[in-house]
Each structure stands twice: as structure tokens, then as C-alpha cells.
């Protein structure tokens, strides 16, 4: 198959793959399901996130190195199969040990897919000489994921209201099984370069690169901090709607508008980058997080709810924005490993932040949780944004400064 045709096939297949992975009717009800069906408190739900996030910390970078060493397609196929099985188990698990095992499998599935999908997309385009299209395609990938989340939200809440709380989870498992079929359609580009060394050398090399280059280091830290400090919002959305007496059937509708706006922005990411530059696209995420959290922390009203879906959008475009900045700055043999470092750091930070935010919201109310999230964002993401800008300036000056010509000996 010609390289350009393969690039087009892989790009479109990844869009469908992402859509089926993210079209999950369980998303708008899973916290409520654990609280109402399983009898957990919000503190317990948040605490259950800790082993999941710890597993992500452990799995993210090694699975990135696995993709670099053994192939992105293998990593994506394995991850999608485990993901489908873990969602089915989530709806069937009747005990805490089974639910815990399910969360660990869920983390492994996510780690196998994260990084490998964007790496495969970039390399497919680069092999065809079309790497300049990466911003457009990664934006479309983010948009497909967000639109799928919105679709799952719109379907899941009515299914839970008119059937039962477990039915949307079983539907999600069936849809995710379809993503495995699309993963199997993916092909490695002929020019794909795998890491020639061992698995451990691939892992160590990717970590050294991410730590040594300041622009890469602060990009990963900044976006991981934004992701971690806003991730707890997923725990608060459903209790927020329940607190104000919003009928369950309307939950999905109310969670749709914010992500739809982000999907529109993600679909136009190529144009936005061309017009405003990568820097503004990256900086937009912490700025929007700070603004939305300020509204939620200061206003006690159902009318401030539109600020909450903003975080769904941030979480949806975060992998695409990370890949957009990093992909062209990292070699093919280390790309998936470096892309996975951000996911590992985000999980590490969220592992401590989510239970703390959940405990505070349980003890002192949801607004207290939002205040804590705002303070965490201001004290981490804002300083890191300044450090990243300085490092990025230095990296651009290094690239722009030509090396002196060698002296000519007469």
C-alpha cells in the first residue's frame, strides 16, 4: 500500500477507534452508580481512584517503551481488548476486590493506548511526507474523542433512568469491543523505526530525554499539572447535579455543551496552531482551568454548572496538545515513551490530589473542593507555565542560531 494511502487509512481508523473507546454511556452515571448501587461514599469513590492512578504511574512509561520496542499497533490492540474486558467487569463486579482488580486492568489498558496512538499517527504521516498535517489530524482525534464522550453522556443518563444503573455499563462494554476491530485494522508504516536495543534501554533512553531537555521537561510537567488538578472534577459533576435536584435523565444533556465547544476547537486545532502558534494553544489550557475553577469556587448556584464541563474538554484535548508539542521534537524510537511520561506524572499527582479533594468535598462541601482545586492549579500550573515559556524560548533560540562556519585554512 502506498505510504500516503496507509497514512490516510491509519488516521481515519484511529478516529473511529477513539470514538468507540470514548462513546461510553457509563460516563455520566459511574460515580452515582458506585454511590447509589454499590453504597460507596464520595470519599470511598475518590479513594478507589488511588490504586488506579498508582497503576497508571507504574504502567504508563513501561508501556510506552513497549510500543517503541515492539510496535504501536500491538500496544493499541492489547490495550483495547483489556479495556473492553475491564468495562464489562466494572458492571459485573459485586465485591471490592473484584472492583479493585478491574481498576488495575483499566489502568493497564489506558497505559497501553496512551502515547502509542499519537506516535502511530505521527509516524504514518511522516512516512508519507505529510507530518505538517499532524496538528490537523491530532485535533480531529481529540474532537472525535470529545464528541464520543458527549454522545455517551446523552445516551447513558436516559438509559440509567429508564432501565437501570447497570445497563449503560453493559452497553459500554459492547461498544468498546467494537474498538478492538478497528485497532486490528491499523498497520505500522513501512518506514517505522523501532528501538533497536532492549526494552530496558528503550525505557531508560526515553526517560533521560524527557528529563534532560528543559522544553520537553516543562511541557510534560505543565500539562500533567493541569490534568491532575482538574481531574477530580469528574468526581464532582454528578454529586453537583444531584445536590440541586436535577433529574437523572437530564444529566447527559447538561454535560454536553462544554465538551462540544472543545470538540469544535480541537477539530480546528491545525488552523488555531497556524494562526496563534503552539504556545498559545498550550497556555490556553491552564488559563481556562483557572477561570472555570474561580467561578465554581466563588458562586454557589446551579447556574455556575456550565463551568464544570470545561474540565471534560480540557481532559479530552490534553493528550492531543501534549502530542502536538512533543511529537516533532522527539525521535521515532523514543516518541511513545516520552509521550507516556506526561500520563505517568499526571496520574502520580492525581493519585494524591483526587482523594484529598474528595475528602474535603465530603467534609466541607463541594465548594471547598473547588477552592482546593483552584489553589492547587494556581500554585503548580501557573509557575510551571512561566518556566515552560522560558525553556521554550531558549530552545527556539538554539534552533534559530546557526553554528559558526568552520575556519578555512589557506
155 neighbors 256 (Cβ within 8 angstroms): no
Q: Cell numbers for 376, please give them.
A: 492547587
d(CA 312, CA 161): 22
Structure confidence at residue 84 (pLDDT): 93
Residue 345: inside a domain, yes or no?
A: yes
CATH of residue 293's domain is 1.20.1250.20
Place of cell 533512553: 205
Residue 169: inside a domain, yes or no?
A: yes
Burial class (CB in 10 A: 0-12, 13-18, 19+), 387: middle
Structure confidence at residue 108 (pLDDT): 94
Residue 408: inside a domain, yes or no?
A: no
Residue 63: inside a domain, yes or no?
A: yes
Residue 87: inside a domain, yes or no?
A: yes
Residue 256: inside a domain, yes or no?
A: yes
Structure confidence at residue 14 (pLDDT): 95
Q: Which residue, 352, 348, 372, 351, is CA-closest to 360? A: 372
Domain total for the chain?
1
pTM across the whole model: 0.69
Instruction: Please count the CA atoms within 13 angstroms of the CA of 140 that sit on its side-chain side.
Output: 13
Question: Angle, nearest 10°, between helix axes 116-127 and 134-162?
Answer: 140
Structure confidence at residue 112 (pLDDT): 93
- Count of C-beta atoms within a 10 Å radius of residue 167: 17
Residue 194: inside a domain, yes or no?
A: no
Structure confidence at residue 193 (pLDDT): 53
Structure confidence at residue 4 (pLDDT): 83
124 CB-near residues (< 8 Å, 6+ apart)? 6, 7, 10, 11, 189
384 neighbors 218 (Cβ within 8 angstroms): yes
Phi and psi dihedrals of 93, rounded to 5?
A: -60, 125
End-to-end Cα distance, the chain? 53
Place of cell 469491543: 177
The boundaries of the domain holding residue 74 are: 3-187+201-398
d(CA 270, CA 74): 28
- Mean pLDDT, 10 residues at a time, over the chain (410 residues)? 85 94 86 80 74 83 83 93 92 79 91 88 88 84 84 84 86 91 91 52 59 78 82 78 81 70 67 73 85 88 83 75 74 69 78 82 86 89 88 75 40
Residue 255: inside a domain, yes or no?
A: yes
Structure confidence at residue 262 (pLDDT): 64
Amino acid at each position: 500500500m502506498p505510504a500516503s494511502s496507509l497514512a490516510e487509512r491509519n488516521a481515519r481508523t484511529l478516529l473511529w477507534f477513539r470514538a468507540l473507546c470514548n462513546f461510553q454511556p457509563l460516563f455520566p452515571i459511574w460515580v452515582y452508580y458506585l454511590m447509589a448501587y454499590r453504597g460507596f461514599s464520595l470519599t470511598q469513590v475518590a479513594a478507589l481512584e488511588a490504586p488506579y492512578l498508582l497503576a497508571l504511574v507504574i504502567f504508563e512509561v513501561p508501556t510506552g517503551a513497549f510500543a517503541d520496542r515492539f510496535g504501536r499497533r500491538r500496544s493499541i490492540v492489547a490495550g483495547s481488548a483489556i479495556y473492553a474486558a475491564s468495562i464489562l467487569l466494572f458492571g459485573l463486579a459485586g465485591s471490592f476486590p473484584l472492583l479493585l482488580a478491574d481498576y488495575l486492568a483499566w489502568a493497564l489498558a489506558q497505559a497501553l493506548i496512551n502515547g502509542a496512538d499519537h506516535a502511530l499517527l505521527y509516524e504514518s504521516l511522516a512516512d508519507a511526507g505529510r507530518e505538517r498535517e499532524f496538528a490537523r489530524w491530532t485535533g480531529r482525534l481529540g474532537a472525535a474523542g470529545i464528541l464520543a464522550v458527549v454522545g455517551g453522556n446523552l445516551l447513558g443518563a436516559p438509559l440509567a433512568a429508564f432501565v437501570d444503573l447497570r445497563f449503560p455499563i453493559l452497553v459500554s462494554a459492547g461498544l468498546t469491543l467494537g474498538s478492538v476491530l478497528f485497532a486490528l485494522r491499523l498497520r505500522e508504516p513501512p518506514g517505522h523505526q523501532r528501538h533497536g536495543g532492549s526494552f530496558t534501554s528503550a525505557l531508560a533512553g526515553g526517560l533521560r530525554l524527557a528529563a534532560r531537555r528543559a522544553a520537553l521537561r516543562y511541557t510534560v510537567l505543565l500539562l500533567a499539572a493541569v490534568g491532575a488538578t482538574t481531574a477530580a472534577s469528574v468526581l464532582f459533576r454528578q454529586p453537583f447535579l444531584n445536590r440541586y435536584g436535577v433529574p437523572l435523565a437530564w444529566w447527559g444533556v447538561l454535560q454536553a455543551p462544554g465538551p462540544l465547544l472543545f470538540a469544535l476547537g480541537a477539530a480546528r486545532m491545525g488552523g488555531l496552531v497556524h494562526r496563534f502558534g503552539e504556545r498559545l494553544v498550550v497556555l490556553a489550557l491552564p488559563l481556562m482551568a483557572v477561570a472555570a475553577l474561580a467561578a465554581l469556587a466563588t458562586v454557589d448556584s446551579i447556574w455556575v454548572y456550565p463551568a464544570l464541563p470545561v474540565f471534560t474538554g480540557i481532559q479530552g484535548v490534553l493528550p492531543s496538545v501534549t502530542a502536538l508539542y512533543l511529537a516533532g521534537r522527539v525521535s521515532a524510537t523514543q516518541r511513545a515513551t516520552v509521550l507516556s511520561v506526561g500520563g505517568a506524572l499526571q496520574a502520580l499527582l492525581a493519585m494524591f490530589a483526587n482523594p484529598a479533594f474528595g475528602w474535603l468535598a465530603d467534609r466541607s462541601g463541594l465548594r471547598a473542593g473547588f477552592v482546593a482545586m483552584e489553589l492547587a492549579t494556581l500554585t503548580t500550573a501557573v509557575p510551571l507555565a512561566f518556566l515552560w515559556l522560558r525553556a521554550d524560548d531558549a530552545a527556539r533560540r538554539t534552533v534559530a542560531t546557526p553554528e559558526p562556519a568552520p575556519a578555512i585554512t589557506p
